[in-house]
Chain A
Amino acid sequence: GQNIDQPTEMTATEGAIVQINCTYQTSGFNGLFWYQQHAGEAPTFLSYNVLDGLEEKGRFSSFLSRSKGYSYLLLKELQMKDSASYLCAPMDSNYQLIWGAGTKLIIKP
């Protein structure tokens, strides 16, 4: 079956760095998406990885290892507005997104 595993909740301090891990098992693979979702709002696109390695986009970076079925989202210089849920979503062979339950990130001053 298809399965996504990411921590339910994480806490970090403003200004620090946090890494949110995601492991996945899918039927085929067509890349992996990360979305951010603030409480009560819609998910918004953060990143897409299809090749192994690190993709950097400002304070956010996303890493993928296809052989390990593993990805992480790295957030640097944390700000209070980064408090949100982060959703990991690999895409299977049918181009369907398989959604994890999300990691709720709490930023403390």
Chain B
Amino acid sequence: TAGITQAPTSQILAAGRSMTLRCTQDMRHNAMYWYRQDLGLGLRLIHYSNTAGTTGKGEVPDGYSVSRANTDDFPLTLASAVPSQTSVYFCASSDSMGSTDTQYFGPGTRLTVL
């Protein structure tokens, strides 16, 4: 199985432009997550979704929005990109939230905002 796919693999974006990072999973997991990973820091949670139709804010949600229209897809949108959003973005999923279920990660999107 593919597990989790993310697109694009990498992107260079001009500051002020908008962009949507795509994430799709085929494991029928209820919970999905968006993290950013920056050098010297641990993964930081941006937004999460408990189940289709519900989303919540993580540790660093400002400047980002998400939607969860169905079980499989969890896109992350940057409405007006800023250079501090340059990072590697990982989507993850787990069977459920509020449990010790293992999180599985997509391959990541490397985003550079100039």
Contact = CB atoms under 8 A, between A and B. Distances in A.
Interface of A: 4, 30-31, 33, 41-45, 48, 50, 87, 89, 91, 94-102
B100 A45 contact: no
By secondary structure, the B interface counts as loop
By secondary structure, the A interface counts as loop
B7 to A, nearest CB: 14
A43 B90 contact: yes
Contacts, number: 45
B45 A102 contact: no
A56 B40 CA distance: 29
A50 B100 contact: yes
A-B pairs with lowest CB-CB distance, top 9: A99-B42, A42-B105, A99-B43, A45-B102, A95-B98, A101-B42, A43-B105, A100-B42, A42-B107
B64 interface: no
